[in-house]
Amino acid sequence: MAEKPKLHYFNARGRMESTRWLLAAAGVEFEEKFIKSAEDLDKLRNDGYLMFQQVPMVEIDGMKLVQTRAILNYIASKYNLYGKDMKERALIDMYSEGILDLTEMIIQLVICPPDQREAKTALAKDRTKNRYLPAFEKVLKSHGQDYLVGNRLTRVDIHLLELLLYVEEFDASLLTSFPLLKAFKSRISSLPNVKKFLQPGSQRKPAMDAKQIEEARKIFRF
């Protein structure tokens, strides 16, 4: 029996959350090894587990994978969530890059300096409403299908759902003008594996609070 993937990160969303989402959507059980201190991170580095001296890192199939996009690409390929051909994969990659860009912009608001928060929040809202959400609403309108690519579940659907939930937490009014995205959110959320991950008690992480932010600063020394 194959070992469960093991995720090395601290106990919060950050750059590991998309990996948690993708594994959960694929119905794959995983373990988490939480980094609780700077010393824990140093040990991973000193033991040679982190190729570029940074996390997230996922142990899977005898590998110690780092770099978020490489991790997500491998999981998507392994569990048939990466389209049926090169053209579909190109679209999935293109859409995913945009989604991950905006996701990171929203996540970074939590830890940005207070004197920068107002300007960065305004920029994030503008990009959400006028650049990214219109693009994905247009994709759904253009083909009238249930999923973004190939009318079957792929990694990009999971990434988009994660993003839409972040947007909803950030400012729910930003979704008002996008009926197809709201319907998409409800549709993907109802898939059995996704629905399970959305339930209380799952390995999905809540928004970071002040205590977690301070812990992250100590671990990653920023």
pLDDT tens-digit profile of 1-27? 579 999 999 999 989 999 999 999 999
3-state DSSP helix/strand/coil % of the chain, to nearest 5: 60, 5, 30
For residue 194, what pLDDT is reported?
Answer: 98
Backbone angles phi, psi at 111, to 5 degrees: -110, 5
Fold designation for 6-79+197-220: Glutaredoxin (3.40.30)
pLDDT tens-digit profile of 50-84? 999 999 999 999 999 999 999 999 999 999 999 99
Neighbours of 16 (CB within 10 A): 22
For residue 209, what pLDDT is reported?
Answer: 81
Cα distance between residue 83 and residue 154, in whole Å:
6
Backbone angles phi, psi at 33, to 5 degrees: -110, 100
Give the chain's mean pLDDT: 94
Residues of the chain whose pLDDT is less than 50? none
- Cis before 113 (ω within 30): no
Domain borders along the chain are 6-79+197-220, 86-189
For residue 222, what pLDDT is reported?
Answer: 64
For residue 216, what pLDDT is reported?
Answer: 80
For residue 221, what pLDDT is reported?
Answer: 76
Fold designation for 86-189: Glutathione S-transferase Yfyf (Class Pi); Chain A, domain 2 (1.20.1050)
